[in-house]
Structures are given as structure tokens and as C-alpha cells.
Structure 1
Amino acid sequence: MAAIGAALCSLQVSSAMAGDVHVAPVTAYVEASILAWIEDPIIVEELKSQNALHAHLSQAAIDGLDDTWRAEFSANVRPLIDRVIGSPLSKFLKEKQVASGGVITEIFVIDAKGLSIGESEVSSDYWQGDELKWQKTYLAGSSTLFVDAPEKDESTQTLQSQASLTVSDPQTGQPIGAITIGINLDAL
């Protein structure tokens, strides 16, 4: 809990565009409702495990996994997607999403290689390492929050923004991954 308290005091916030009015309420929601569980052992241990498993992956291998995910996204047989979505971590994330009462639209945890290792909803790609949500958090270090620009979700007709945070090892303080939370701005 001490690490969470320290994170609250030293959270570095960046956004896609300075002065965005949604940044303050998203940041307040993250501080009040998300920081308490981003260091949950299920997240930390799964990140450590997947980081060890993926440490050897080359960029070509990562690209291949991402291609597989994208092909499975619209297929009937989806072993890679099913493995991620069926994991205890993904079930934990889904529970957090449901418990938010509609404020959270999606959650995914990203490892040190930028690969999505747990998701509350199936995303369209597996590799997040080429996106700001990973680059402005994991690569930026501990206690980093990145609030992305708001976007209209065509399927739900809601305005949402993604808040991404660095996940650090509570014992060492070293970044081990990132988490992205889709926030329904209409529900804040």
C-alpha cells in the first residue's frame, strides 16, 4: 500500500493534447478507482511471468504473433485470443470492468515487449508496443499516467478516452508493464 500512496503523490500525467478538459476528470477517476488495484498480485505476477516467457522474442516474432491475432480476430478458431481472454488475469480485469458500473469500457495489461497479456474485451491487435499507450507509460518509467484524446465509440455511441499507466514491481519500483483502461467520459 505504501507504493500506491507514493504513486498518488508523484503520478506524472501526460496527455495527447495539452489542455484537454477530459484529462482532469479521467485522472481523478484513475486516482480514486484504479490505483488501488493496479499492483494486485494477479497483475504483477502475470507480468513477471509473461516478461520472462517473452524475453527472447524478436521483433519479427512479435509481428508474427500480432498477425496471428489479427487473423484470429475475425475467425471461428482463435487459440491465441482464447488463451489470453480465458486467463485468470483477463477474468480479473473483466470483473473490474463490470464493477465500474459502465465507467470502464475495456482494460488490458501490456508486458515489457508491448504484448497484451490480459484483456477484459478482445482488442483488434496483440502488439501495443507501437502505440502511445505503451510508449508513454512503460518506456517513460514508474508513476506515469497517459490520458489519450477522447474518441467517439461508434458501436456504443459514447465518448471515451484511454488512460494508460505504468505498472511497477511493488518490491523494486521498476516498470514491468503497462495497463490501459478505456473510460466512458459520458459516465464520469
Structure 2
Amino acid sequence: MRTIAFLLFLGLLLPGPVSGQEEVEIGEQELRDLLHNKIRVVQHLALNPALLRDARRQNTTKLDLNEIKKRDEEWKNSDDLTHFKRSLQDNVSGRLLKRIVSSNPDFNEAFLTDDQGANVAAYPATSDYWQGDEEKWSESFNGGEGRLFLGPLERDASTDTYAVQISAPIFDGPETIGVLVVGVTLDYLSEKRGAR
């Protein structure tokens, strides 16, 4: 069993007072158990026709990888909510993801990518445009085979929160055409673990 070590501050998942930093190990199965309901929500959301349609539409443009990397650099070099970043919040999928994140305090972000890992929609704006070079995308896209992937608990730079990212493939029939990534907050994990 793979063990995921979490570095938590102020004992956020531990009962009782703890000072400084504590390392808490949560096995992969315990993490899956804690996230069971959220995994189901994300898998169901990955079936949404709007997400499928927008991923499919972007895939038909066949963006060149050099263009994707250029957009990624421009994205990372601006902390502002540029017109391009806003367009990924204002498209149909972006508005859907905004409603999901805004109405669920357990989620800190949600974004949809195409079959190359380029963002199709995102709320709030991610720290970079291209996810294709990151484990959360490559493990879920899985060479086109698509599979669920749970990332480690880590600080998310774009939202300045600790979260676990659930990555679910977007299927068009048998073909994986994108990945949906949703961040689940540390507060949710803490509450679920404390209730056990």
C-alpha cells in the first residue's frame, strides 16, 4: 500500500493541541475512504454534457504544443485575471465549475483540460495554463486510457489552501478526451477524519 505523508501545520487533523509541525501518515485506502463521497461527485460531474462538449470542441482546434507552452508562460507571468483567464471562467464549463465551487465549501477549485492538458475551463484561475506536464493530469489521462487519480495533500498556490486534488477522466465513448480536476479542502478531510 502506498503511503501518503502529509505535513500538517498546527495539528489540523490531530485531536488535541499540537504545536509546530506534525507529520501524519494517511494510507491510500484511508484517503479513498475519507474522500469516497467527493470522488463520486467528481466522477458524476465528469459526465456532464457541457464539460464533454467543451473538451471535445477544444480538441478539434488541435493546438500546437508550442502555442500551449507560450500561453502557459504568459499565464504564469501575470497575476492579473487577464481577458484570456477570464474567458475560461466565463465559458459554459467555466460557469458550471464556478457554481460547483461556489456552492460547495469543501471544494477550493475545479478545472477542465483537453487531451493535451491545456485548460478548457477553470474556477478560480489556476496557477498555470498547461497541466499536461503534471502528475494530476498525466496519471488521470493515463495515455488515453483514463483513470481516477488522487493527488497528495498539498498547498495549492492558486487558492492558497491545502487540498487533495481528485482527477477524473472525461470520456467520449471509449476515448479519453480530457481531465476534470477538483480540489477538496483540508477542512473537509479534517472533519471527516475527526468524525471517525
> With structure 2 as the length reference, what TM-score do the two structures score?
0.75
Partner in structure 2 of residue 29 of structure 1: 38
Partner in structure 1 of residue 12 of structure 2: none
Partner in structure 2 of residue 63 of structure 1: 69
Residue 88 of structure 1 pairs with residue 92 of structure 2 = yes
More contact order relative to length (CA 8 Å, sep ≥ 6): 1
Contiguous gaps of at least 5 residues in structure 2: 6-25, 190-196
Q: CA 1:154–1:166 in 2, change beyond 3 Å: closer, same or farther? A: closer
> With structure 1 as the length reference, what TM-score do the two structures score?
0.78
Structure number with the higher strand fraction is: 2
1:66 CA displacement: 0.7
Please list, as runs of the form range in 1=range in 2, the aligned pairs for 1:1-188 lying within 5 A after superposition: 19-20=27-28, 21-31=30-40, 33-53=41-61, 55=62, 57-71=63-77, 73-75=78-80, 78-100=82-104, 102-142=105-145, 144-152=147-155, 159-169=162-172, 172-188=173-189
Aligned residues of 1:142 and 1:168 also touching (Cα < 8 A): no
For residues 88 and 47 of structure 1, the distance between their equivalents in structure 2, rounded to whole angstroms, comes to 11
Contiguous gaps of at least 5 residues in structure 1: 1-13
Structure 1 or 2, whichever has the larger Rg, is 2
Q: Deviations over 1:78-110 (max 9, x none)?
A: 22212212212111001111232x111100001
Give the partner amino acid of 1:35. Answer: Q
For residues 101 and 153 of structure 2, the distance between their equivalents in structure 1, rounded to whole angstroms, comes to 19
Q: CA 1:15–1:174 in 2, change beyond 3 Å: closer, same or farther? A: farther
Q: CA 1:22–1:87 in 2, change beyond 3 Å: closer, same or farther? A: same
SS at match of 1:144: coil
1:24 CA displacement: 2.6
Q: Percent identity?
A: 25
Aligned residues of 2:4 and 2:27 also touching (Cα < 8 A): no
1:19 CA displacement: 2.6
SS at match of 1:149: coil
